[in-house]
Copies of this chain bind each other. A is one copy, B any other.
Amino acid sequence: MERFQKTRIEAFSDGVFAIIITLLVLEINVPEIDMHNSANQLTQALIHLFPKFLSWVISFLMIAVIWVNHHRILESVKLIDRKFFWLNINLLLWTSFIPFPTALLGDYADNKMAASFFGIVLSFTAIAFVLLRLHLVRNPALRHEAVSEISAKRALKRSVVFGPLLYWLGASMAWIIPVLAWCIYLLIPFFFIFPKLKSTHE
């Protein structure tokens, strides 16, 4: 039975996350203005780019959250089998797609489809986490001894609730008011960064 080296998969995944989080900014293009040295015109152009900046910040923080989640999963893993490897590639696939919906959201800030599409793509990264956690629940041999079945199942349950469900909520709200979707997308990473908010509601 084939086994993969945990360290190389960790390094490869970290490399991919570091590159995605940095590539995002390439989707923000320098604005074009008529009068080259007009500070007023450039200020106006930069203000119009606000949705691009905001969608960039949201995605940046979301990828940071993905990195932390990935970090936690790998901490609980002892062995990596073929299936875990390809489920991890599935996570990297959807994560590395994020620059596209981010640029779309920034360019079409008030378009319901753009706001919904963003949430749907992000929900696939969340489902990828659910599948990884499900695989760990079903295969105790892959887990560190310190990780009990109860805690693995609890982590799985939480990855469902605070994962795809939240993104689908955002993607649905987009069809009512796009701004509502933006708020949900922005709240998700902050919910995660300041865990006191989360624990109060649990």
Contacts and interface: CB of A to CB of B under 8 A. Distances in A.
Given A18-B12, A64-B89, A37 B97 contact: no
Given A30-B104, A37-B110, A42-B114, A12 B67 contact: yes
Nearest to A117: B46
A111 interface: yes
Interface string A36-77: 111110110010000000001100110010011001000000
A113 interface: yes
Contact of A16 (B4, B22, B38, B71): B22
Interface SS majority for chain A: helix
A107 B193 contact: no
A107 B30 contact: yes
A96 B28 CA distance: 12
A5, A16, A85, A108, most chain B CB atoms within 10 A = A108
A191 to B, nearest CB: 13
A39 B93 contact: no
The 10 A-B pairs of least Cβ separation, nearest first, read A15-B18, A39-B113, A19-B22, A42-B113, A39-B112, A37-B110, A64-B89, A30-B103, A22-B96, A16-B18
